[in-house]
Amino acid sequence: MENMLTIRVIADVWERHLMTMRTIEHLHMFSIALMLSIMIGVSVGVFIYMRPKTADPVLNFLNIVETIPDLALIVLLLPILKLGAGPTIAACVLYSILPVARNTYTGLKGVDEQYTYVAHAIGLSPREALFKVRIPMSLPLIAGGIRIALVFCMGVVTLGGLVAAGGLGTVLQNGIQLYQKDAILVAGIWTGLLAVILDGFAGIIEKKLHERYGTW
């Protein structure tokens, strides 16, 4: 069983491919991408909610972006953003805006009219009603969107290895080019594990939000 993953093999691969550094790079890109996605996605969701006429065109456009294969999108962004983390982060954000924006929009629309009515009737301005009532009450759905974005981002960040973005994708890429099965396995499993852990974490937060803010 020469290919078996012993602790030794893992430690060896980990050291040779600088996987601590790669993991940090990976999570660094990932967190920047996710933060941007949340900020832009929530803003877009609120915007199309406030201007309902824009909702369909914007969501349709984001749907089209979604259909571009991820690798193609990264390559398309290369001439604009050059090599490095830029195109990868941009691709992550472009993919993740849709789930976040769509869930924000659906969440805001789904808030029972009676609460908005009461909010206005007791003297909240439209802005206060949005921030104190509608957005908090949509948090469980927004969190659901963010969770989808999180999984998207994990996948796209890994692809970044192909365009010299760094991160764990680089280890996989090297493993493939040098035909090192151990490296491919270790990096692959580790990347998958990270995604599962982060998703699980997001799932817990989502559940907490549901208990706290959910009314259904």
Sites of contact with other proteins (CB under 8 A): 114-115, 117-125, 128, 132-133, 136-137, 212-213, 215
Q: Among residues 15 and 128, whose Cβ is nearest to other proteins?
A: 128
Q: How far is the CB of 105 from other proteins (least distance, A)?
A: 19
Report in angstroms how near the CB of residue 124 gets to other proteins at its nearest.
Answer: 7
- Tokens standing for 64? 């089209």
Rounded to an integer, what distance in angstroms lies between the CA atom of residue 147 and that of residue 142? Answer: 9
d(CA 7, CA 186) in angstroms, rounded, equals 11
Distance of closest approach, residue 45 Cβ to other proteins, in angstroms? 18
Q: Which is nearer to other proteins, 8 or 127 (CB)?
A: 127
CB–CB of 87/74 below 8 Å? yes
Q: What is the 3-state secondary structure (H, E, C) of 179-198?
A: CCHHHHHHHHHHHHHHHHHH
Residue number, 16 or 212, with CB nearest to other proteins: 212
d(C-alpha 191, C-alpha 21), whole Å: 14
Closer to other proteins at the Cβ: 121 or 178? 121
In whole angstroms, the minimum distance from the beta carbon of 130 to other proteins comes to: 13
The number of residues making up the chain comes to 216
